[in-house]
Structure formats: C-alpha cells, structure tokens
Structure 1
Amino acid sequence: MIRLVFNRHKIRGGGIILLFIFIQGCAVQLTFDGASIPENVHTASVQTFDNRAAYINPVLSQTLTEALKDRVINGSRLTLAEETGDVDFSGEIVAYETTPLAIQADAVSAETRLTVRINVRYENFRDPEKSWESSFSAYRDFPSEQNITAIEDELVSEIVEELTENIFNKAFADW
C-alpha cells in the first residue's frame, strides 16, 4: 500500500490528473486537509463524552460530542453510525477549571485561564493496532476583571474547536 499525504500544497494542471490516475488504485482515501482514511473504514461513531470534572459546565458534554461528530463528518467521507461504527470515539471530560495567572503586587490576578482536559478512546475495529487512548487539553486566557459568564460560551467554543481538531488529527492524519 502506498500512503501519500498532501496538506495544502498546490498541484497544477496535468499533475492533478496524473496524481488522481496514480492514486485511484491505492487503498487509502486522501483528502487535502491531511486526513488519510483506509478504504475499508466507512462509518464512525461518537459516544457522549461524560462530564466527570469537579466543576461542571452543563452544556460542555453535548457541545463537545456534537462538535466531534461535525468534525468527523465535515473532515472525511465517513458517515455516522447509529450504533458502533468501524471507528468509535468515546471518553470523558476530566477537568473544567479556572486558574488565576499573572498575580499582581496586590495579590490579585490580572488574567485567568479556563482549561478543559479530556480523555479520549479511539477504537478502530477494522485495524485494532491503530486504536489508542490519549488525553487532550486546551485553554484560553482572559482578563480577570471580565465576568466569565459573559464570555464563557465563546471561550468554550474556541477550546472545543481546538480539542476536536487535535482528536481528528491524531485519529486520521498520523501527525
């Protein structure tokens, strides 16, 4: 099997035609965002990420689960399975916390960091050797004088986007 990855490189004219003729017989689907998915993998499933953090954001579990589903659908040719797919994502949110940063002379922090940590299990039922379990973490800093409830949705959205991109890359891009 030949494995090729093209990541945002420009290929011109006849080179594209030759490339597609060449890869037509390959056993891996190539996409231009770097994903390489074996031809025998057709479906994916994403289980609900349980929220086991000490502090719970009530919508984080659903937000993360749906964002990962969207990333898999939009970043690959895979379809979502109602039960368990050829590949399956599961896991839990283990931390959702704020931490003061940049403590000033008056013992007040100038910035605060919102951090989300998750554990993810990726099972590849077509090729079990490609299965893995890993932790992912992402954070955003914000001025401490800002009320977190006013910006929490935006921060969580950015964090979830980063987490789902990292999970997708680990599963399908072989970074």
Structure 2
Amino acid sequence: MKKLLYITLITISTCCFIGCGIYGFTGGDVGNAKTIQVDFFRNEAQLIEPSLSQDFTTELQDLFTRQTNLTLVATNGDIQFSGEITSYRINPMSATSEQTSAQNRLTITVNVRYINTVDDNKDFEKSFSFYSDYSATSQLTGSVLEAAFEEIIDRITQDIFNASVGKW
C-alpha cells in the first residue's frame, strides 16, 4: 500500500513539474535571443512634453528586463527597438449641459520599429496608441499628468511586449 502511495505521489509530482515547464510566467518568447537594444524614442509630436521620451524609453527597457532573461545592451542587440513618439494630443470628450467640456482625453501614439536579428520573419513597424481621460476642471500638470503618463505608458509598452515577444 505504501509503495502504491509513493508511486502515485511521484507521478503527480513529475506531472506538475513537467507541466510547469511548458508555460512561462510572462508569456514572452524571445527564442534564441540573448540581448535587447532599446534606442531612445524621440518626441516628434506637435506638442512636446519634455519628460515623455525619457519616461517611455526607460519603461520599455524596464519591462523587457523584468519579464525576460534578455540583457540590455547599447548596440547590436539580438532584439532591437527604435521609433518615435508621433502624437501627443488633448481632446475634449464629453460636454456638460452648459456646453463646456466635462472631460478631456490625452492620447499618445508611438511608432515602433522591431528588429529580431535571430528571426527576421518577426520584424515589424507599427504604431501603438492609448489614452487617459481626466476631468476638464483639472490642469494636465503634476499628479494628473503623472497618472495619465503612467496609465498610457504602461498600456503601450505592454502592447509592444505582446506584439513582439508575447505568445498571446
């Protein structure tokens, strides 16, 4: 009886360990790539927010170094990202009964060039965009701007991750 219990326990444990080997925690598939290069994303939008380029570039680098085993390099990366911020715009979204804006929307668009030197079939150039809504009675400065940047940059960088190495 003990022998049957041990065999069952070993079988279940083995299945669990083998099953976990198939899946990754992040879903990132970097293939045989070992290094990543993320060039500075210049802000070429008509409206310029000084810290946006640096914040975006840093967050994209951090996302890939946190969720993959790739090493960040300055040049000749196996996986390379470059691009520019092409749009930064604020639009009124909803009106009040007094015909004034009740809510504004900040939208940021980033053009991304992805080069995978290990597998050329995965290369792409694509635009990614996201927005954040805020009250029209608020100024887009300080904590309102920081919250909007965090929401937008998190979403765009995650979309870039999913499009490039995500298994989704």
TM-score calculated relative to the size of structure 2:
0.87
Match of 2:115 among 123, 126, 129: 123
Equivalent residue letter for 1:162: R
Match of 1:168 in 2: 161
Greater CA radius of gyration, 1 or 2? Answer: 2
After superposing on structure 2, the runs of 4+ consecutive aligned residues of structure 1 that deviate more than 6 Å are none
Contact residue 38 and residue 74 of structure 2 kept, 8 A? no
Aligned to 1:14: 14
Write out aligned runs for 1:12-161 (5 A): 13-19=13-19, 31-38=24-31, 40-150=32-142, 151-161=144-154
TM-score by length of 1: 0.83
> Given that residues 46 and 90 in structure 1 are in contact (C-alpha distance below 8 angstroms), is that contact kept between their aligned partners in structure 2?
yes
Counterparts of 1:110 and 1:172 in 2: how far apart (Å)? 39
In structure 2, runs of 5+ residues without a counterpart are 1-11
1:16 positional shift: 2.8
In the alignment, the residues of structure 1 paired with residue 67 and residue 157 of structure 2 have an alpha-carbon distance, to the nearest angstrom, of 11
SS of 1:58's partner is: coil
Post-superposition offset of 1:50: 0.9
Compare the two structures and name the one with the higher helix fraction: 2
Cα RMSD for the two superposed structures: 1.6
Q: How many residue pairs were aligned?
A: 156
Distance across 2 between alignment mates of 1:37 and 1:31:
11
Q: Percent identity?
A: 35
Superimposed CA distance per residue, residues 121-152 of structure 1 (whole angstroms, 9 cap, x where no aligned partner) = 00001111110111100101011001111311
